[in-house]
Structure 1
Amino acid sequence: MVVASGVRIGWTDLPGHVRAAVEEIIGAPVVSAVSQPGGFSPGTADRVRAADGRRAFVKAVSPAQNERSPVMHRQEARVSAALPAAAPAPELLGCFDDGTWVALVLADVEGRHPATPWRADELDRVLAALAALADRCTPSPISDLRPAAEVLATDLAGWDRVAADPPADLDPWIAAHLGELRALAARGRASLAGDTLVHLDVRADNLLLSDDGRVILVDWPWACRGPAWLDTLLLLINVRLFGGHDTGARLREHARRTGADPADLRGVLAGLGGFFVDAARLPPAPGLPTLRAFQRAQGDAVVAWLRE
């Protein structure tokens, strides 16, 4: 199974003035740094320990690693600074931005990613946490976030792009159902109204399970306002990718709990399938060697789900 990963730089690869700025935010010199695996960023992702024992999580990047990554770090800093205590997210301790390098210093969270393939108990725990997040953060406590319909408008039109320029190896089932898939995705795009705080990138590698029972969501650059059911749909795509669970039954249960129209959920699912299939054929992204393969695997998983 392809996993999310980038070609990371580490703490010692950061320019001296960036490291000094991070140490000023922490309040003491950094004496050790351990790079963390997973996630799609070519920048640092280090758990650091300072001389006085304080700990933090540091993520830093420049355009030299990936042109878009600093933009995402800046957005994550804005979102993290505005997140309420009700949101299960690491506290932002500070941010450094010199126009080239962007560094976020976050509270270090003791925890581990959920196991994949997903364990039933951990899946139940995360589903409950997402339901609690939606309940607590509706209406969205960050009112100036973009609506999900705007954030996903281009992504959910992937089947339109496939229809306009079909690849030679297009799955015959997709080719036979392309009109239906486009119609479903259009419904999905029209169904994204809502005023719930949405993380929009819920996957195993963006979740931490703590020993005290908490579920922590990390990496918030895509946060937006949308329907209360959207994060759970995204999580179930990740569950489907790794196998072992009846994601259809889970999704129907979620629709009943939230009052969502199952046709809306199918529409967004179809739209996301089109995004993954279309994006997987793009050129490799700098610093992210497994991104296209991961998108292809997600596309395969979603299309198989749609076929059912």
Structure 2
Amino acid sequence: MGTRIGWTNLPGDVRAAVEDVLGDRVVEAVSQPGGFSPGTADRVRTAGGQRAFVKAVSPAQNADSVRLHRAEARNTAALPAYAPAARLLGVHDDGEWVALVLSDVDGRHPVLPWRPDELAAVLTALEALAVAVTPNPVPHAPTVAAQLTDDFAGWHRIAADPPPDLDPWARAHLTELREAAGHGLAALDGDTLCHLDLRADNLLVDDAGRVTVVDWPHAGCGPAWLDTAILLVNVALHGGHDPEAVLRRSPLTADVDPAALTGVYAGMAGFFTDGARRPPPPGIPTVRAFQRAQAEALLPWVARRLA
């Protein structure tokens, strides 16, 4: 997905700080695939055999990634022990470099297109997670409505300055899309801690089918059904399953107001469509193509729901 540096690219004092957290010397580091941060994402092993996951970034790679690493550190530190997430072992923040040292998770990303057994395991895990983090256990988490207000205004920005390659159906239905996104935003009240970025590369599945949710910088307080709804964008993108059927059978989404779900998907489609036309952020050259692919997967689905 993105282009990233590795463990050996970190300054010596940053590597030493990570080793201080671990209490031992790192003798092996293996860069991990997935995600968009241009910083490190390494599974490391120490001389004594301890394993951990290290992610580190500085403004030289991408300034926004530094902010996200700090947010992830705050959020992960506040997660309850029973949440299916990696544990924060320590943080190094020298004002330039931010390095997170997390427990190593024995697992891999789900296979794409989604396998039925892995999708079922993830959906079950999200049901358990919603129970575990309701009421919201992270007091500093903002509301998801506050976090998504600007994102869900994407269709307003597009209407004011339509790109020449705008999808013809979207061009003809901008008013409906703006209204739907507003309805979706208004439906995001709730007292559940939501991850807000659920997709395959933020999930790990072990050999026993246990699921761990990783990368929590965007966590916010909202409805229990939202993460499942967001995951289904990834399912729609990669194919193999009917996301509408999944919505109907999931206990978290089956009884949600259909207009609320349509509004959320309209808001996300606007965010992806608006984002995809912008220049790539520093150090993350592939994110715009990924946003475009998500918009192209979402728009026909939104069109069917608005019909």
Matched residue, 2:211: 215
Query: Hey, what's the Cα distance between the residues in 1 that align with 2:51 and 2:80?
Result: 22
Determine if contact 2:79/2:138 at 8 Å carries over to the other structure. Answer: yes
Map 1:150-165 → 2, pairs under 5 A = 150-165=146-161
2:256 corresponds, among 250, 254, 260, to: 260
Map 1:9-24 → 2, pairs under 5 A = 9-24=5-20
SS in 2 for 1:272: helix
TM-score (norm 2): 0.97
SS in 2 for 1:96: strand
Q: 1:214: Cα distance to partner?
A: 1.4
Structure 2 unpaired stretches of 5+: none
Kindly indicate whether residue 60 of structure 2 is the aligned counterpart of residue 64 of structure 1. Answer: yes
Map 1:147-226 → 2, pairs under 5 A = 147-226=143-222
CA shift in 2, pair 1:37/1:256, >3 Å = closer
Q: 1:256: Cα distance to partner?
A: 6.9
1:227 corresponds, among 223, 226, 230, to: 223
SS in 2 for 1:138: coil
Query: Hey, what's the Cα distance between the residues in 2 that align with 1:256 and 1:102?
Result: 36
Q: 1:17: Cα distance to partner?
A: 0.4
Determine if contact 1:157/1:274 at 8 Å carries over to the other structure. Answer: yes
Determine if contact 2:62/2:283 at 8 Å carries over to the other structure. Answer: yes
Query: Hey, what's the Cα distance between the residues in 2 that align with 1:256 and 1:77?
Result: 28
Matched residue, 1:250: 246
Kindly indicate whether residue 119 of structure 2 is the aligned counterpart of residue 123 of structure 1. Answer: yes
Matched residue, 1:38: 34
- The one-character-per-residue Cα deviations of 1:80-102 (angstroms, maximum 9, x if unpaired) are 11100221100110000000000
SS in 1 for 2:259: helix
Paired amino acid for 1:73: H
CA shift in 2, pair 1:258/1:135, >3 Å = farther
Kindly indicate whether residue 134 of structure 2 is the aligned counterpart of residue 138 of structure 1. Answer: yes
Matched residue, 2:21: 25
SS in 1 for 2:105: coil
CA shift in 2, pair 1:56/1:124, >3 Å = same
Matched residue, 1:306: 302
Query: Hey, what's the Cα distance between the residues in 1 that align with 2:94 and 2:27?
Result: 24
Paired amino acid for 1:218: V
CA shift in 2, pair 1:248/1:153, >3 Å = same
- The one-character-per-residue Cα deviations of 1:55-99 (angstroms, maximum 9, x if unpaired) are 110000000000111110000000111100221100110000000
Determine if contact 1:112/1:210 at 8 Å carries over to the other structure. Answer: yes
Determine if contact 2:59/2:66 at 8 Å carries over to the other structure. Answer: yes
Q: 1:253: Cα distance to partner?
A: 2.7
Equivalenced residues, count: 304
